Amino acid sequence: MKLLLIGSASVHTFRYLAGIAPHVDEIHLVTSGELPERYHAANLGRVLQVDFSLRALATAGKIAGLIAALQPDIVHVHQANSVAWHARRALAGRKLPWLLTCWGSDVLLLPRQNRFMKQLVAANLAAASAVTSDSLNMAAVCRELAPIRRMDVLNFGMDALPPAPDIAAKPLQVLSCRLHKPLYRIDSIVRAWAEVEADARFAGWTLTVAASGEETESLKTLAAHLGLGRVKFTGFVAPEVLAGLYRDARVFVSVPQSDATSISLLEAMGHGCLPLLSNLPANLEWVLDGVNGAIVEDVGRLGDAMKAQLLRAADDAQLAEAVALNRRLVAEKGLHQHNMQRFADIYRDLLALPEGNRR
Q: Which is nearest to 130 in space by CA: 146, 112, 110?
A: 146
**Torsion angle of C-alpha atoms 30, 33, 36, 39, degrees rounded to 10:** -30
Quick one: pLDDT at residue 326?
98
| Distance separating alpha carbons of residues 347 and 228, to the nearest angstrom | 51
- Count CB-CB contacts under 10 A for residue 210: 21
DSSP collapsed to 3 states, 177-202: CCCCCHHHCHHHHHHHHHHHHCCHHH
| Distance separating alpha carbons of residues 281 and 260, to the nearest angstrom | 8
pTM of the prediction? 0.88
Q: Is 209 helix (H, G, I), strand (E, B) or coil?
A: strand
Contact 86, 59 (CB under 8 A): yes
Q: Which is nearest to 14 in space by CA: 22, 26, 33?
A: 33
* Segments in the chain below pLDDT 70: 356-359
Report CA-CA distances (Å) from 11 to 18, 40, 263: 10, 12, 11
Q: Angle, nearest 10°, between helix axes 11-20 and 336-352? A: 70
Quick one: pLDDT at residue 260?
86
